[in-house]
Chain A
Amino acid sequence: MSESAPETFSSPRGSKRIELKFSENQIIERAIDRDEEAMGYIYEEYSPLVWSLALRYTGNQSLAEDASAAVFIRLFKNLHKFRGESAFKTWLYRLSINTIINYGRREKKFRAGELFENHLGEGDKTEEIEARDLVQRLLKKLPRRDEKLIIMREMEGMTYQEIANISNLKLSTVKTRIFRARLKLRKLYEEEV
């Protein structure tokens, strides 16, 4: 883990937690030793990111909770593997997207859920939900690697450079792979419609 100058991390979104005057690296080291406060800090800091990804990917509160829980349990088990070669957030995002996609693929009854329906107007519900379900199904027919890239680019709205950082790939490779993934997705769409 790389050494960085300690800085103060204030309590995100809230007041309940005690303010920790440690660098993020120090917090991570404490969490590896199962320090409850440090683990709580990591949860508070990053749960909105994980939750948002899981919720948008599943469109279902219950599935999103299962997937998010799987991410954090895996995170705390594997925290010692974080070597500081990338930003912690990048490392966490990589772990989150892998876990959530794996979870989604295992879930047999996976479909666009009630949350998505609640966000639509009465008139466009059926068409939008059908389109969402279709794309969701087609995404799962892509190789995992392609599905992950499409989610990061289209669902999460990341830049190619951000995706390259998370995926440990060259920028040009990311562009080529996303281009090919889009073509594959389009081919699947044509076969389906």
Chain B
Amino acid sequence: MTCSNKNLNKYIDGDLEPAAEKKLLSHLKVCPTCANTLKSMEKMIGVLRNIPDYDRSPPQSLRRRVLGETAKTRDGAALLKLGLTLATFMIIVGFFFLFTGDKKASEILEYSAAKLQDIYGETEEISSYYEDELFTAIVMMIDY
């Protein structure tokens, strides 16, 4: 029998026909190269196959981390929508103030700007693009 790595592979998987297995085992007795190849392959595969199944449930900290992280992203998106709505509202009130000079409109603008800053402070997930947009809106409103 000649050396065949394919047969060694099948032997490791237990897929070798009985007659072929018998031949291989005889060959291994007289071929140190194949015997060594099989020995080192079985050793490595044995290590991997014998890694214990730890049978442990995932820790609660993982759950908090995963679902907390995704909730933060969701809350960030909701805050972003709220911030943009508020900024739009401020632009409308800003124009109203510009044309009428109404004092009440000025107070509303100041209050809205403060709330917008709170929203910005609470969210870490808003992208830098939207951060810039929001800040530009705030600065414009305060300048008015």
B6 sits at the interface (CB 8 A): yes
Q: How many residues of A contact B (CB 8 A)?
A: 43
CB contact under 8 A between A40 and B65, given known A55-B54, A135-B48, A179-B5: no
Bound CA span A157–B59, Å: 24
Determine the chain B residues whose CB is within 8 A of the CB of A61 once the complex forms: 59
Chain B interface size, under 10 / 10 to 19 / 20 to 34 / 35 or more: 20 to 34
- Given contacts A51-B56, A155-B49, A189-B40, A69 and B9 within 8 Å (CB-CB): no
A119–B52 CB distance below 8 A: yes
| Residue from B43, B54, B67, B69 with most neighbouring chain A CB atoms (10 Å) | B54
Asked if A56 and B51 sit within 8 Å, CB to CB, the answer is yes
Assembly CA distance A189 to B37 (angstroms): 10
Interface string of A115-151 (1 = CB under 8 A from B): 1100100000000100110010010000000000011
User: DSSP majority for the B interface?
Assistant: helix
- A65 contacts B62, CB within 8 Å? yes
Contact indicator B51/A51 (Cβ below 8 Å): no
Residues of A within 8 A of B58 (CB): 47-48, 50-51, 68
Distance (whole angstroms) from the CB of B6 to the closest CB of chain A: 7
Per-residue CB contact flags for chain B residues 35-75 toward chain A (1 = under 8 Å, else 0) read 00100110111011101111011110111011101110010
* A135: chain B residues within 8 A (beta carbon): 44, 47-48
Task: Check B56–A55 contact: CB distance below 8 A.
Answer: yes
> What are the residues of chain B within 8 A of A3 when measuring CB–CB?
none
Q: Interface code A150-193, partner B: CB below 8 Å = 1, 0 otherwise?
A: 11001101000000000000000000001100110110011001
Return chain B residues, CB-CB under 8 Å to A103.
Answer: none
Among all A-B residue pairs, the 9 with the closest Cβ atoms = A154-B48, A51-B58, A72-B66, A47-B58, A119-B52, A179-B9, A135-B47, A34-B74, A155-B48
Chain A contacts to B: CB under 8 angstroms: 13, 34, 36, 39-40, 43, 47-48, 50-52, 55-56, 59, 61, 65, 68-69, 72-73, 76, 115-116, 119, 128, 131-132, 135, 138, 150-151, 154-155, 157, 178-179, 182-183, 185-186, 189-190, 193
**7 pairs of residues in contact across A and B, judged by CB atoms under 8 Å:** A56-B53, A76-B66, A119-B52, A128-B47, A138-B44, A150-B48, A179-B6
